[in-house]
Structure 1
């Protein structure tokens, strides 16, 4: 998430949110695609007795049960890889947070799954903001999140989903946002 003020005349703070187009998602989608293709080709090679893999000889496998199992793992892997590539293509969770003092509006925008709710956009008035809240939880599944507390609404998450942010980065962004909006900072 990067914060920037777009102009000195119009005080606007815009934070880009990285969605599913992260390096780790590209990495896992590629690994799953290669592995699933290997399993599927091993299954087909076992059935047709024609070697389709340059690094192994799956023609020696008995189709039932080994070839069938390889085909099942290949099909499951291909479906998982397809899902991963689609989430990357749709950039799920990507978007921005925009705080515009000139218009007095806050816009929280995220991309969702295709359909009626593809565009997730929340708008609110800056005057309705009560606080900027920081949530920290350490342990096996750590959580470091930044929330916006708005009157009449539940807390709105402002940080990306996935890998937790560095503590210093979270503190800096929370302090900058609280200062920009002139609201208290909670949770630190």
Structure 2
């Protein structure tokens, strides 16, 4: 530090701010450090352990949640930017004690082994189904069909941001295909 300069500590620069967030249908009024990610807020402040912290760099997809219906990597999303938003985790997809069709399809097709990536896979697949239904643009950069073909190649491309380290891809593909074809 040069003479006459004052030190800016991260705590002083990151003044806590109030936000309102709906997570899986429940409203939360929270004080948030502007540097806090949505993933850390969900897990550490709200106690929602459905989204997983995998790589913490946006490369594995274990932290995928739906933010106002669109899939996002919660480890790369600042919580402060979510003020007023609706967050849906894999746990929040079930309604009235009934599994979401994707959750049931993952069970039926053994779309998990260790289960660590499963919540992110399910949220990403739910986002994919919404994109198809609404005609919303996909996050993929490679050209894919305008209407879903539900081929392994197309599903793999549209789910490419979600990694499974134990190799349950065959079951995941079958689960997503079945859920998509039922729509």
> What TM-score bracket applies, with the shorter chain setting the length?
under 0.3
Structure (1/2) with the larger strand percentage: 1
Which gives a bigger RCO, structure 1 or 2 (Cα 8 Å, sep 6+)?
Answer: 2
TM-score relative to the length of structure 2: 0.23
TM-score relative to the length of structure 1: 0.23
Give the greater-gyration-radius structure (CA).
1
